[in-house]
Amino acid sequence: MIINLKKALKLISCGEVAALPTETVYGLAASLNAEEGIKKIFTLKSRPQGNPLIVHVSSMAQALSLVQELPPHFEELGAKFWPGALTLVAPAKESVSLLARAGLPTVAIRMPNHPLTLEIIRETGPIVAPSANLSGRPSSTSPKHVLEDFGDDFPVLDGGKCSIGIESTILIWNSCRWEIGRLGSIAPESIASCLPFEPALSKSNKTKCPGSLYRHYSPKAKLIYGQKPYRGDSPVVLGFEGRRYPQAEKIFILGDLKKPETVMNNLYKVLRKLDTEGIKEAWVDADFSPTGILSTLAERLEKASRS
- Is residue 269 a contact partner of residue 161, using CB atoms and an 8 Å limit? no
Considering the complex, state which of residue 145 and residue 182 has its C-beta at the smaller distance from ligand TXA.
Answer: 182
Considering the complex, state which of residue 34 and residue 282 has its C-beta at the smaller distance from ligand TXA.
Answer: 34
- The residue within the footprint of Mg ion, chosen from 131, 234, 265, 266 (CB under 5 A), is 131
- Is residue 180 a contact partner of residue 201, using CB atoms and an 8 Å limit? yes
82-85 long-range contacts, CB within 8 A, separation 24+: 82/110, 82/111, 82/113, 83/111, 83/112, 83/113, 83/114, 83/118, 84/23, 84/111, 84/113, 84/168, 84/186, 85/23, 85/24, 85/110, 85/113, 85/164, 85/167, 85/168, 85/169, 85/184, 85/185, 85/186
- The residue within the footprint of ligand TXA, chosen from 13, 33, 51, 65 (CB under 6 A), is 51
Q: Which residues, at least 6 apart from 123, have a Cβ–Cβ distance to it below 8 Å?
A: 9, 13
Residue type, 9: L
Minimum CB–partner distance for residue 297 and ligand TXA (Å): 15
Residue 266: HSE in the Cβ half-sphere, 13 Å Cα cutoff: 18
Minimum CB–partner distance for residue 137 and ligand TXA (Å): 11
Please list every residue from 116 through 135 that binds ligand TXA, using CB under 6 A. 129-131
Binding mask 55-74 for ligand TXA (x = CB under 6 A): --------------------
- Answer with the entry of Mg ion, ligand TXA, none that 257 interacts with (C-beta below 5 to 8 A by kind): none
Considering the complex, state which of residue 3 and residue 121 has its C-beta at the smaller distance from ligand TXA.
Answer: 121
- Is residue 267 a contact partner of residue 286, using CB atoms and an 8 Å limit? no
Stretch that binds Mg ion, among 14-22, 52-60, 129-137, 265-273 (CB under 5 A): 129-137
- Answer with the entry of ligand TXA, Mg ion, none that 37 interacts with (C-beta below 5 to 8 A by kind): none
Residue type, 93: K
- Is residue 234 a contact partner of residue 252, using CB atoms and an 8 Å limit? no
Binding mask 154-183 for ligand TXA (x = CB under 6 A): -------------xx-x-x--------xx-
Binding residues vs ligand TXA (CB under 6 A): 22, 24-25, 27, 51-54, 85, 87, 89, 101, 104, 106-108, 110, 112, 129-131, 167-168, 170, 172, 181-182, 209-212
Binding residues vs Mg ion (CB under 5 A): 131
